[in-house]
Amino acid sequence: MFRLVKHTSTLSQRAKLLVAASNSFRKISSFQPLVLNSLTRQPADVRQFHVSSVVQAAHQPFTIKSVRERLLLTLSLYDKIDPEKLTLDSDFFKDLGLDSLDFVEVIMAIEDEFMFEIPDGHADRFKTPRDIFQFICDKEDVYE
């Protein structure tokens, strides 16, 4: 609940507060950090610079063999997939025993590995690693 409080301050008190606030702001805005050179203990030059990150690293062109190997390696590293049962024709749900949340994690791992997004509509149709393999080959124009 809010209460109304009658202000009894005079105009001169408000003016003094505004001047004090403005002086404080001026002091803060003119503040310059002091960076000392570690050897001479003298003020060092401070320069601003921007660091940019690499958005996507250049990669070697895909081959059918490299896509197959990377896909199977990515899948075999997932803790809920038994590498001995993993083939290109293994069913994710029947043979490998994944549930829907596991499958989403697998798709995300594949997206990270191949550095592109798989639309949900396509991901829902993947039943085996071969389906994902074919999608990647089609997307990256890999036919040899």
Q: Express as a percent the part of the chain with pLDDT over 90.
A: 54
Confidence of residue 1 (pLDDT cuts 50, 70, 90): very low
For the structural domain made of 64-139, what CATH number should be given? 1.10.1200.10
Please give the single-letter amino acid code of residue 114. F
Question: Do 71 and 129 form a contact (C-beta atoms < 8 A)?
Answer: yes
d(CA 103, CA 42): 59
User: Reduced to 3 states, what is the DSSP secondary structure of residue 123?
Assistant: helix
> Is residue 28's pLDDT more than 60?
no
Q: What residues have CB less than 8 Å from 112, skipping those under 6 apart?
A: none
Q: What is the pLDDT of residue 17?
A: 55
Give 81-119 pLDDT, tens digit per residue: 999 999 999 999 999 999 999 999 999 999 999 999 999
- Catalytic residue list contains 99: yes
DSSP single-letter state for residue 30: T
d(CA 119, CA 114): 14
Q: Where are the domains of the chain?
A: 64-139
Q: What is the pLDDT of residue 90?
A: 97
d(CA 36, CA 49): 18
Options 82, 89, 91, 99, the catalytic residue: 99
